[in-house]
């Protein structure tokens, strides 16, 4: 288990479309477990492989927020949204690749997702609430899309300029 560094926006690798995982190799399983460790360490409730610099279609999630409840770590290989509700919901989103920047994003309130799990078995589930927001946020990462891409150009540029400044300061530190 290894904590991997998370890429910070702006970074060209966060804007590329990730390649399908296809067969699930031991290397992909190690990556998935490293991503879960990295997500919990951040902390976050989701993480996509491009965020750790691997342009493959793999996301991990655990949106169980209640510290008393049983965690539900999920590994999704080649996830695809096969149904979206007409009903939408809004959420103040953040992103581990765009730290300390938040903005309201509106998305379908429920989505049905199909993927393959770590055993290679086909899974399908209907997600609502924070799980629905998170899985859509993560699958967007696989298509090179960030939550700031849903904002107006001025707000998006403001956040990007803040991140460029932050990266410059971190490089000097």
What phi and psi, each to the nearest 5 degrees, are found at residue 78? 50, 50
Give me the helices (H) in 20-98, please: 26-41
138 catalytic per annotation: yes
State yes or no: residue 113 binds ligand K2U (CB under 6 A): no
Question: What is the closest distance, in whole angstroms, from the C-beta atom of residue 23 to ligand K2U in the complex?
Answer: 25
State yes or no: residue 135 binds Zn ion (CB under 5 A): no
State yes or no: residue 50 binds ligand K2U (CB under 6 A): no
State yes or no: residue 138 binds ligand K2U (CB under 6 A): yes
Write the CA distances from 125 to 113, 135, 172, integer angstroms.
6, 11, 45
Q: Structure tokens of 40?
A: 């919990």
Per rule CB under 6 A, count of chain residues that contact ligand K2U? 16
State yes or no: residue 93 binds ligand K2U (CB under 6 A): yes
Biggest CA pair distance of the chain: 47
Q: Coil, helix or strand for 61?
A: strand
> Restricting to residues 64-103, which ones interact with Zn ion according to CB under 5 A?
95
Choice from 10, 89, 94, 144 touching ligand K2U (CB under 6 A):
94
Catalytic positions are: 138
């Amino acid at each position: 288990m290894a904590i991997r560094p998370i890429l910070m926006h702006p970074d060209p690798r966060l804007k590329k479309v990730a390649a399908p995982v296809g067969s699930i190799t031991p290397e992909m399983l190690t990556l998935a477990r490293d991503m879960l460790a990295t997500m919990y360490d951040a902390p976050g409730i989701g993480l996509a492989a491009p965020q750790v610099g691997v342009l493959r279609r793999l996301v991990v999630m655990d949106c169980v927020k209640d510290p008393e409840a049983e965690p539900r770590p999920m590994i999704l290989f080649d996830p695809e949204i096969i149904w979206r509700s007409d009903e939408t919901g809004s959420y103040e989103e953040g992103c581990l690749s765009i730290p300390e920047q938040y903005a309201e994003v509106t998305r379908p309130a429920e989505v049905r997702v199909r993927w393959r799990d770590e055993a290679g078995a086909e899974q399908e589930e209907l997600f609502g609430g924070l799980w629905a927001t998170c899985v859509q946020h993560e699958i967007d990462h696989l298509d090179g899309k960030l939550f700031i891409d849903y904002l107006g150009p001025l707000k998006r540029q403001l956040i990007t300029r803040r991140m460029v400044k932050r990266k410059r300061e971190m490089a000097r530190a």
